[in-house]
Amino acid sequence: MRALGAYYAGKSSDGVSMGLPYRADLIGDPESGVLAGGALTAILDHGCGMAVWDSLNEFKPIATLDLRIDYMRSAKPGKDMIVTAKCYKLTRTMGFVRAFAYDETIDDPVAAAQAAFVITSNSPNGQRS
């Protein structure tokens, strides 16, 4: 995420938030100046993972099992992107997350995501449980 310039933007009752500054090298369409879909996908995935980690009482390795993104509109050129994600269900081995990406207000999202993460733990002998 460092290569994209993404940063932790805070935590609230809505979940954890990340920011992605608008940069020329992240433009997907040079004519319109719209953010590349891949950059948006990356920050949504990472934000969803952060929401799972925030819900755990300890650090455990996680991996994206499923990520569905509904793109609702193009991002506005020149605007930073914010992702807010919340883990709404946590089990022993899974975390389930909903997230929104927006450039001005969460009420007018660029994209919505639904994700599932597998949660693993490493035992002292190196085997996964």
Confidence of residue 119 (pLDDT cuts 50, 70, 90): very high
pLDDT digits (tens, 9 = 90+) for 97-115: 999 999 999 999 999 999 9
Q: Environment class of residue 2 by beta-carbon count within 10 Å: exposed (0-12), middle (13-18) or buried (19+)?
A: exposed
Tell me, what amino acid is at 44?
A: L
pLDDT digits (tens, 9 = 90+) for 14-41: 899 999 999 888 888 888 888 888 999 9
Q: In order of start, what are the domains of the chain with their CATH numbers?
A: 7-119 (3.10.129.10)
* Mean confidence (pLDDT) of the chain: 91
Q: Is 83 within 8 Å of 101 (Cβ atoms)? A: yes
- Does the pTM surpass 0.85? The reply is yes
Residue 29 CB contacts under 8 Å (≥ 6 apart), including other chains: none
pLDDT digits (tens, 9 = 90+) for 46-65: 999 999 999 997 889 999 99
